[in-house]
A and B are shown apart, each in its own frame.
Chain A
Amino acid sequence: MVKYLTEEWAQQAKKKVLETLDPKKDLKSMNAVILNIVSNVPPDNKTVYYYLKFVEGNLEELLAGTDPSIQQKQAEFMVNGDYTTFVQIGKGEMSTAMALLKSRVKLTGNKMKALTITKPLDTYTSCLKTMPTEY
């Protein structure tokens, strides 16, 4: 079992998405670059960066870890939130949209465009929910 939001997890997650989801049908050919900044990650309460790049529904990059170079990457959406919330999202207990609505995460970027990728992003998270993960 891989630990959530580690480099190893990111590699397996990318593999799973590429094997499971159809870029057109499931991910609606979305174009989006998202940088999640996850704070208070145990055991040391560090900040972890979780970066996603979709081009025409293809998951081109999925990076996670504490490497600050991830933070330097250009992203059109930035999502800030606590580890506990990202765990809830990862487990499928709460959608990203619900987390936003409850002010559990903060979104920077074009909200109207964010709305257009809500559904494919839910499909993405729901696909990873089934991956054995240590939270």
Chain B
Amino acid sequence: MTLSEVLSATKKEAHCGMCKIDYLDTGVCPSGKKHGFLAYWPEGRVELARALAENEVRPTPVLFDIVNSCNFCGICDKQCNFITQLRPMKVERALKEYADNVPKNQIQTVPEDDVLKDLRAIVGNEWATNDPLIIASYTRSALKHQPNASYYVVMPRTKEEIIAIVKLANKYKIPYLPRGNGTFFSVAMNTLLAPAVTIEQGILIDLWRMKDIDIHPETMSATIGPGVTSFELQKAASAHKLRANVAEAESHVCANAQNLGIITTWSNRYGWSSDNFIDAEKIDAEGNVIHLSDQEVPNPYATDNGVTSLSLIPNVIVTSLTVKLHHMFEDEENLFVPFTKLEDAIDMAEQLAKRDIGISLAIISSKYLSEFICPTSDVEEGFDHVLKKYLKVNYLVDIICTKQDKKIVQEMTNLIIDEPLVKSLILGSAKLASMKNSSLLKMISEENDPIKAVFGGPLRKHLERGLADTPRELVKVFDEDLRAFYEKVYSRPEMTDPVWLHMFRILPCRMERKHFWMYRGGYMPGDKQTIMKVCNALEASAQKYNINGAFGFLSYLEHGKFAHLEYDYYYDHTDPDAKKRVNQSIVDSWKRQFAIPGVTPLEFICNKGLRRKEHILYPFPAGLSEEELPLVDDLVESVFGGEDQW
């Protein structure tokens, strides 16, 4: 197999970073674990294969290290296929074949320059490089391909090393950029935001090695290094029967806290931004160490907001974060309440938020539920179709609560999808998807109120029984050679335990398996009128540019006073025309959102995560007038250039 034969698969690489966490109990790629640099992980190898196939980079002797460090153990296929349906081993084989046949005279050597010598003096020879292949592996997940740009990648182990790196960058007057697991970058780098979130040359500081975790059960807190992922923190916390409020499994907690303030469905109880942590240690642009708990530092929690507050590059590197941990209760349960109309779902969720019901509380779309629980994108399409077309389920109020709160929810509605039914939906997702043209579903859809008929009537039991599938049946949708392994995975209780899935968040990257997506939305007042206005605005932008837009999730803050909305624009990031349209829709959606009082689009939250949410959200942005709205175009043109440059 040649590189050109795997090119289209490599282009689909989503850079989700899930291959760097042990979420299926397989262990992680031994080569990546040993060498650290992205090129040695499945994600980076796939990107490198693409760069070589597209002649963006010429081979160096490091190619042989990268290729030979893979022992074809197959962990990458098990992990990656579960989430993205890709098979990295095919790419690795193509890369090996390429390396075996590359003419020796095509191999370039890369001299060590003064910057690299100094970097190696700080972190040791093996943890700093200017090798173009290693740098190419970070393309689209931190760096932009720029021929002739001087880049270095360095992997520090300590705070002291980071300080020295920052000072070195200042000495040579070159920029630097910290990288967690690249999850934010991977979304932004495919859009017009790319030049604003990356560096045009300089030092990329990959923080993966800084994995210290100290759990302090007595104070219900944890102190972590910047290389710790959400999954790793949650695992460590849950060993003490405690819970952390974390983002998607693969994201680095420190980077996520610093950038977006950890946005989750658990914000209903645990809050957002500075609510999440007790202290942070950060390195500023001069290499000074600042602790947020220092009494001498100027107010570290204040920030500005509104259209002029855009900042997409971190101006500090968080080297340690002490986060709050929370109690877990034995009687916690996940309930879903289905709705056809978003307005009705908001009415219910708002009531729950105002009364502080639900440790985790959100409205999710059927699309979101389908993406997460369905094993493949084909199943997802069928499952979502069934939910929408036949059962008329477009939205679900998603609640994790104790028994006491469950009673209140039950008083509000009897149309509840409880945990046994969720388990049936997970294991029976392929079966339900396959029923999309069945007479039974057609009959259900003809009911006056299909939701009531299915979830509140006698049909419920039929549905539950009909769907009750086994892991063995479900995994038939996977490639044959992986079925036995996935059967074991789906046989584990946690894989059908919705509370566990909400906590560990291993499934969201499934959103990337068919098409890529761009996060839209942001924070807004929690009233229904504003939420609907924002949803309609985002839908209008998507429609205007022929983008498939879909409501993702809505969560609440401050007893329902504020809401956070994720609305996703799905697009094919390998299609230049789709990329252009998504960029146009991003700009259009900014303008539409800024016209609505109180709304802060997500990008304008970036790099404010360590601030107090009150400083970010208050005073409510007034909403730009018609005369002021063209200023957004001016800002876009000045920062990102005209449409021809996107």
- Is A75 interfacial (CB 8 A cutoff)? no
Contacts A40-B173, A116-B631, A118-B634; A111 near B639 (Cβ below 8 A): no
Contacts A98-B195, A102-B196, A103-B315; A112 near B638 (Cβ below 8 A): no
Contact pick for A98, options B175, B196, B315, CB 8 Å: B196
A contacts with B: majority SS: helix
- Is B148 interfacial (CB 8 A cutoff)? no
A87-108 CB mask vs B (1 if < 8 Å, else 0) is 0000001111110011110000
Contacts of A104 in B (CB 8 A): 175
Contact pick for B304, options A97, A111, A114, CB 8 Å: A111
Contacts A40-B173, A82-B173, A98-B195; A118 near B312 (Cβ below 8 A): no
Contacts A98-B196, A101-B312, A103-B311; A118 near B173 (Cβ below 8 A): no
A119 near B308 (CB under 8 angstroms)?
no
A84 near B173 (CB under 8 angstroms)?
yes
B634 near A119 (CB under 8 angstroms)?
yes
- Is A7 interfacial (CB 8 A cutoff)? no
Give complex CA distance A111, B635 in Å: 12
Q: Which of A93, A101, A104 has the most CB of B within 10 A?
A: A101
Give complex CA distance A57, B200 in Å: 33
- Is B313 interfacial (CB 8 A cutoff)? yes
Contact pick for B308, options A84, A94, A114, CB 8 Å: A114
- Is A122 interfacial (CB 8 A cutoff)? yes
Task: Report the minimum CB–CB distance from A34 to chain B (whole Å).
Answer: 15
Task: Report the minimum CB–CB distance from B305 to chain A (whole Å).
Answer: 11
- Is A1 interfacial (CB 8 A cutoff)? no
- The number of chain A residues touching the other chain, given as a range, is 20 to 34
Contacts A82-B173, A84-B173; A118 near B638 (Cβ below 8 A): yes
Give complex CA distance A101, B607 in Å: 11
Contacts of B196 in A (CB 8 A): 98, 101-102
- Is B97 interfacial (CB 8 A cutoff)? no
B173 near A101 (CB under 8 angstroms)?
no
Task: Report the minimum CB–CB distance from A38 to chain B (whole Å).
Answer: 13
Restricting to B626-646, which residues have a CB under 8 Å from any CB of A?
Answer: 631, 634-635, 637-639
Contacts of A93 in B (CB 8 A): 200
B154-182 CB mask vs A (1 if < 8 Å, else 0) is 00000000000000000001010000000
Contact pick for B635, options A84, A94, A102, A115, CB 8 Å: A115
B312 near A97 (CB under 8 angstroms)?
no
Task: Name the residue on A nearest B637 (C-beta).
Answer: A119
Give complex CA distance A95, B634 in Å: 12
Give complex CA distance A93, B631 in Å: 22
A103 near B285 (CB under 8 angstroms)?
yes
Q: Which of B175, B307, B313, B638 has the most CB of A within 10 A?
A: B638
Give complex CA distance A75, B635 in Å: 22
Contacts A115-B307, A119-B637; A102 near B631 (Cβ below 8 A): no
Task: Name the residue on A nearest B633 (C-beta).
Answer: A119
Contacts of B308 in A (CB 8 A): 111-112, 114-115
Contact pick for A103, options B173, B313, B631, B634, CB 8 Å: B313
Closest 8 CB pairs of A and B: A111-B308, A97-B638, A103-B315, A119-B634, A118-B638, A102-B313, A84-B173, A97-B639
18 contacts across the A-B interface (CB closer than 8 A)? A94-B200, A95-B639, A97-B635, A97-B639, A98-B638, A101-B196, A101-B310, A102-B196, A102-B313, A103-B285, A103-B313, A103-B315, A111-B308, A112-B307, A114-B308, A116-B634, A118-B634, A119-B637
Name A residues whose Cβ lies closer than 8 Å to a Cβ of B: 40, 82, 84, 93-98, 101-104, 111-112, 114-116, 118-119, 122
